[in-house]
Structure 1
């Protein structure tokens, strides 16, 4: 095979082989120029694309081709793939791919069913370190093997083999980055655990609130993992610009699909920060009342007074009115009692106060109050207000003890506590009752 450099070829062709080139390469030029020259003749610097792109047969990559000065690799591969697909679609019988060398031009064309599929150029030969004709023969052989449809079992086996081989090859190629990412993940796990422990201990010394300690520990742990994940992805060669763009495109869909989940987590962070209650507090949240057992970022766990566990989403907790019965160590309770209108109220108050003073569970300060709260139809109702332990068990037990002591003290002092008395006035006495009364 005769090798010519491009300047020599131009001088030689202009003086000797003009007619030969026109007659022998007219078909190849008309078809190949469509392949190689972009429609707008854009310079290679202005065309975005890859240096190499895949040539596909029935969706399977066969080999790669490079870019040319007039066209990038992606555009070139798209044109070749379209020609191959067109031949496979329009022809029932697919012939063998043949190589047509053009030694004066130092190129070779690959033809199928009398159609030019592609041109192998001197640039391709330099890219792959072969002669033009040798590279053309290799590509023709690979195309023929791909075009010959094997039996189904063999085709499936070949595809499976190629997939596994490509996976193994990719794994080997990416092994350094994978090992680096695994090392970063291990360091991140160790650092996150240590930071969470240190942050939790620091919160225990400074905050003194279990909810805040949990929040600080979890946020520290999550922050370290977030930083470590970013570094690990960077070691694996992730393009953060592309990642941010993808996140921007999908943020709306993610926001709608995970609205409730994100709302619960954000509400949990706010609750742990605001601290309207803490673990072991006795609270009323909506229709539920009980003791707070656990505060998580997604839900709050409450143990009701009858022993049941209620998991309340933090979004509902955040939006509900919360009554914290144990926010203060003391809580006011009250007992009502009714006395007869004929009793001396001051004497009654003295008897009640002496009975309350004997109960140790009642707080001495603030001093219990005994108030006349209602003048009912048959009784004078008194309300006894006193302060006790805010825990429910102590609150109920002390309130019961005070009610019992007041009743017993009033009975001992012979103070009447009448029931409701109803007076019936009969304006028109029935005749039957009058006759019986007269007969009696």
Structure 2
């Protein structure tokens, strides 16, 4: 190949590129200005958005997440605007197409993570529970020690740490014992059929009346709930102003001890299980009329 022709070809290409660069200089200058101003505007938007979101949510992690998403979205708009000014529309189209395909692939690959993440966002806004609450979720009951965007951490009353995915928290019923700042203790008791029930009710209420942790706003009540096999069953319903499990267990223990002592002092019997065998029912015979067979079999 002739070196002269190669040199001319290279020179012509360089001239074309230089001319194109000269023509593009105003666009480059404008794009630089737009980029700088856009970055400052994006930061300002992030600051304003952070203040607005903090008024709705007190979750610092969630607030930072939304502020970052808004900031990155604003930066994305600035970058696409700069590329358009530089007449790189094809590059913009390719980037958008690639981002769409990548987003679809990531959505399928990290479906469970995305579900837990979105559930964590909804939990942060709805606030069905918070750190320190005593709750029961599915088969787990304990105190919440952390709520983040992916999972909820609970410490059970047996000292175990349970990490529950937010999808399970969001899609299942939550029994929050701390929401009302109080709990009710239901104690089942059985007394003999021969007791005076009005007396039993009065003595039972007196027995638990001096438990310190009982609510002053809610009256302790006694209900007779059924005829048991060996006893008449009653339920003692006591409200506690403190939802903590230790206080709940303490009240229950004190109530059992005090009721037992009160019943003993007033000769009220808590019966053992009793079974009555009646051989004289209709269609049967009494025990004294049943034939007795004696075996004469010799060893």
* Equivalent residue for 1:409, pick from 259, 262, 269: 262
Query: C-alpha separation between the residues in 2 aligned to 1:403 and 1:100?
Result: 108
What does 1:191-202 correspond to in 2, within 5 Å? 198=51, 202=54
* Equivalent residue for 2:292, pick from 422, 425, 431: 431
Classify 1:251/1:384 alpha carbon distance in 2 versus 1 (closer, same or farther; 3 Å).
Answer: same
Query: C-alpha separation between the residues in 2 aligned to 1:190 and 1:255?
Result: 31
CA contact (8 A) 1:341 1:379 kept: yes
* Equivalent residue for 1:419, pick from 272, 279, 283: 272
CA contact (8 A) 1:196 1:217 kept: no
Equivalent residue number for residue 263 of structure 1: 115
Equivalent residue number for residue 296 of structure 1: 148
Equivalent residue number for residue 371 of structure 1: 223
What does 1:313-328 correspond to in 2, within 5 Å? 313-328=165-180
Query: C-alpha separation between the residues in 1 aligned to 2:101 and 2:208?
Result: 70
Aligned length: 264
Query: C-alpha separation between the residues in 1 aligned to 2:187 and 2:94?
Result: 70
Query: C-alpha separation between the residues in 2 aligned to 1:258 and 1:185?
Result: 31
Equivalent residue number for residue 283 of structure 1: 135
Query: C-alpha separation between the residues in 2 aligned to 1:419 and 1:288?
Result: 34
* Equivalent residue for 2:246, pick from 373, 385, 393: 393
Query: C-alpha separation between the residues in 2 aligned to 1:289 and 1:320?
Result: 13
Classify 1:336/1:188 alpha carbon distance in 2 versus 1 (closer, same or farther; 3 Å).
Answer: same
CA contact (8 A) 2:130 2:144 kept: yes
Does residue 223 (structure 1) correspond to residue 70 (structure 2)? The answer is yes
Query: C-alpha separation between the residues in 2 aligned to 1:335 and 1:312?
Result: 31
> By how many angstroms is 1:240 displaced?
3.7
Query: C-alpha separation between the residues in 2 aligned to 1:361 and 1:421?
Result: 36
User: Could you list the runs of 5+ residues in structure 2 that have no partner in the other structure?
Assistant: 16-30, 280-285, 295-299
CA contact (8 A) 2:50 2:63 kept: no
> By how many angstroms is 1:347 displaced?
0.8
- RMSD after superposition: 3.7
Does residue 99 (structure 1) correspond to residue 2 (structure 2)? The answer is yes
Query: C-alpha separation between the residues in 2 aligned to 1:186 and 1:430?
Result: 107
Query: C-alpha separation between the residues in 1 aligned to 2:155 and 2:267?
Result: 45
Query: C-alpha separation between the residues in 1 aligned to 2:184 and 2:127?
Result: 23
Query: C-alpha separation between the residues in 1 aligned to 2:181 and 2:225?
Result: 27
SS, match of residue 378 in structure 1? coil
CA contact (8 A) 1:189 1:225 kept: no
What does 1:38-187 correspond to in 2, within 5 Å? 98-99=1-2, 125-128=11-14
SS, match of residue 431 in structure 1? coil
Residue-by-residue CA offset, 1:379-411 (whole Å, 9 max, x unaligned): 111111111132222222112211221111111
TM (norm. structure 2) is 0.73
TM (norm. structure 1) is 0.51
Residue-by-residue CA offset, 1:133-160 (whole Å, 9 max, x unaligned): xxxxxxxxxxxxxxxxxxxxxxxxxxxx
> By how many angstroms is 1:277 displaced?
0.9
Query: C-alpha separation between the residues in 2 aligned to 1:254 and 1:318?
Result: 23
Residue-by-residue CA offset, 1:204-226 (whole Å, 9 max, x unaligned): xxx6x754x55334322443344
User: Could you list the runs of 5+ residues in structure 1 that have no partner in the other structure?
Assistant: 1-97, 102-107, 109-119, 130-176, 434-440
SS, match of residue 2 in structure 2? strand
> By how many angstroms is 1:196 displaced?
8.7
